[in-house]
């Protein structure tokens, strides 16, 4: 019964952002009101495609790898470019997609008081699928099946959202629960490094390796 009270979405490994569309003009806003609009110009086409409509979306800017999986490492190459020309060059190499998962405003009316299920119904009716944007399906119930599917695909996890939950801006929504896939690896501890700064005088990180072809191959440092 509890499972049926939630809608489940894939957890996208990207950058959370609100997209404001107003009569063909768009503004992409990150956390702390950061203006991301110049950084991802391919997303402006969504506002142009919507024409004179006025909408606010909640979603995530995502870069996908060759296998179609979200890759934060690829996205990082787009995050801190200093000039418009650098952005245009990187657009060709590493395109991004705005993955839309919520609708906050629709043609003069706030949708914040509506339930998640009602907001998703309005969002899905817009049929937003384009060259740099998409609205993935959500699943009513069946959370375990979706989590297992994301683990097989190597995706970070899922988000469970209560179907009767309104949208609460500016705070962590109690009705949204992140469920991450945890990867497990057997490693060999080969040494350690001393801590620095606030961790001075204590263990900083351990150096680990993995067994490969009868020997140990260095795999990096672990500090958590």
Q: Mind telling me the catalytic residues?
A: 11
Cα 170 to the chain's mean position, in Å? 18
In angstroms, the CA 150 to CA 18 distance is: 25
In angstroms, the CA 197 to CA 200 distance is: 5
In angstroms, the CA 128 to CA 144 distance is: 27
Across 30-83, the runs of DSSP E, i.e. the strands, are 54-62
Question: Quick one: DSSP state of residue 67?
Answer: T
* CA distances in angstroms from 65 to 16, 90, 93, 193, listed in the order given: 19, 14, 11, 33
Which two structure tokens, joined as six digits, stand for 190? Answer: 């080969």
Phi-psi region of 141 (alpha: psi -120 to 50; beta: other; left: phi over 0): left
């Amino acid at each position: 019964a509890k499972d049926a009270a939630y809608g489940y979405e894939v957890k996208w490994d990207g950058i959370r952002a609100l997209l404001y569309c107003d009569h063909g003009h768009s503004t992409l806003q990150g956390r702390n009101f950061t203006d991301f609009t110049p950084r991802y110009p391919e997303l402006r086409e969504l506002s142009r495609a919507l024409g004179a409509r006025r909408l606010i979306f909640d979603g995530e800017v995502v870069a996908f790898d060759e296998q179609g999986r979200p890759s934060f490492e690829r996205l990082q190459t787009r995050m801190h470019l200093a000039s418009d020309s650098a952005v245009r060059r990187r657009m060709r190499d590493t395109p991004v997609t705005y993955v839309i998962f919520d609708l906050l405003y629709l043609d003069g009316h706030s949708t914040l008081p509506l339930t998640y299920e009602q907001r998703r119904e309005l969002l899905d009716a817009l049929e937003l699928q384009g060259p740099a944007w998409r609205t993935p399906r959500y699943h009513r119930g069946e959370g375990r099946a979706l989590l297992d599917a994301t683990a097989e695909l190597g995706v970070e996890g899922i988000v469970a959202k209560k179907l009767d939950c309104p949208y609460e801006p500016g705070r962590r929504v109690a009705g949204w629960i992140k469920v991450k896939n945890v990867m497990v690896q057997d490693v060999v501890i080969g040494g350690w490094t001393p801590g620095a700064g606030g961790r001075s005088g204590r263990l900083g990180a351990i150096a680990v390796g993995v067994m490969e072809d009868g020997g140990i191959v260095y795999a990096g440092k672990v500090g958590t």
